Amino acid sequence: MSSIVSIRNLSKKFAGFSALKNINLDVSEGEVVCIVGPSGSGKSTLIRCINLLEEYEKSGSVLVDGIPVVRGEKLAMVRAEVGMVFQSFNLFPHLTVLQNITLAPVRVRNTTRTVAEKQAYAMLERVGIAAQAGKYPGELSGGQQQRVAIARALAMQPRIMLFDEPTSSLDPEMVGEVLDVMKKLAKSGVTMIVVTHEMGFARQVADRVVFMDDGEIVEEGTPQQIFDDAREERTRNFLNAILQH
C-alpha cells in the first residue's frame, strides 16, 4: 500500500522549545489513525504540520501524495488535498452553510457553481443536515456546525482528512452525532488522522493508535495493542489516568 502521508524526522521548535522531536509517521490510503496523548504533547502541532499551518524545521520532511509540503506555488494544491476539521469549527460566519461549502470548490477547483451546489447538497446529506443549507452558522447548534465543517472539508474531495479534537468544544449531548458522522466516513474508506480524547471512538474506529508524549511518538499499534497491552509505562499511565474519569 502506498503512503498518502509520509513524515520523516519531523521536528518543530517554538522559540527554542521543542514541541515535536524527530517524528516519523506513515499513513496509508484508507487508513484511520487516531493520535492520543496528554495536553501539550504536540498532537495538534503534528497534524498542523501536514498542511503547513505550522512551519517545521528544515531537517525534516512531510510528503502528501509524494509532494513535499513546503512554501511555494504547490502549497495551495497540496492543501486542497488535505481536509481539516478544527476544534472550534471555524466556519465562515458571514456565509450561509451552502456558501461555506461551495466557496473552495468554486475558487480553488474552478468547479461551476451549479455543480458545486449539487455536490454540497450531497455532502450535507452525508453528514445528515441537508435541511440547513440556507442558514448561517450562527443559527446552528455546535454539533450541526461541526458537521457543516466536515462537509466543507469533504467538498474539496481531499485525499486525507485531519481532525483536531473535533468534539472537544461540543456539549456532551452533541458529541455522538459528530462521532457517528466520522465513523461513517471511516467505514466508507476516507483516510483520516484524528487527534482525539474519545478513547471509545479510537478503540472502535482506528486502524492504528499513536500515543504521543512530550513531542515524541512513544508507542503505536492497533487499538488492542495500545489500550489492552501497552508496552510503555507512559502509555499505561496516560490511559489509566483517562479511564479513571
Partner 1 sequence: MNFIDTFFNWDVLTSSMPLLLSGLKVTLLLGLVSVVAGLVLGLAIALVRLYAMRPIRLVAIIYIDLFRSIPLLVLLILVYFALPFIGISLSPFASAAAALTIVSSAYTAEIFRAGIEAIPKGQFEASQALGLGYRHMMSDVILPQAIRVVIPPLTNNCINVIKDTALASVVAMPDLLKQATQAQALEANPTPLIVAALMYIGLLWPLVLLVGRFEKRLRTTR
**Least Cβ distance, residue 45 to Mg ion (angstroms):** 8
Could you say whether residue 166 binds ligand ATP (CB under 6 A)?
Answer: no
3-state helix, strand, coil in the chain (%, to 5): 40, 25, 35
In the complex with partner 1, the residue whose CB is nearer, 83 or 215, is: 83
Count of CB atoms within 10 A of residue 52's CB?
A: 17
H/E segment holding residue 33 = strand 32-36
Q: Which of 21, 32, 18, 66 is nearest to 210 (CA)?
A: 32
Q: Is 199 in the site for partner 1 (CB under 8 A)?
A: no
91 binds, among partner 1, Mg ion, ligand ATP, none (CB under 5 to 8 A by kind): partner 1
Alpha-carbon distances of 184 from 172, 192, 207, 239, rounded to whole Å: 20, 12, 14, 26
Measured CA to CA, the distance from residue 19 to residue 140 in angstroms comes to 35
Please give the Cα distance from 227 to 92 (Å, whole number).
Answer: 38
Q: Which stretch binds partner 1 (CB under 8 A): 11-19, 56-64, 74-82, 165-173?
A: 74-82
> With binding defined as CB under 8 A, does residue 113 bind partner 1?
no
Instruction: Tell me the site size for ligand ATP, rule CB under 6 A.
Output: 10
Residues making up the chain, counted from first to last:
245
Among 12, 43, 79, 147, contact with partner 1 (rule: CB under 8 A): 79
Q: Tell me if 90 contacts partner 1 by CB under 8 A.
A: yes
**Minimal distance in Å, beta carbon 128 to ligand ATP?**
27
> Least distance (Å) from partner 1 to the CB of residue 241?
29
Using CB under 6 A, list all residues that contact ligand ATP: 14, 19, 37, 39-45
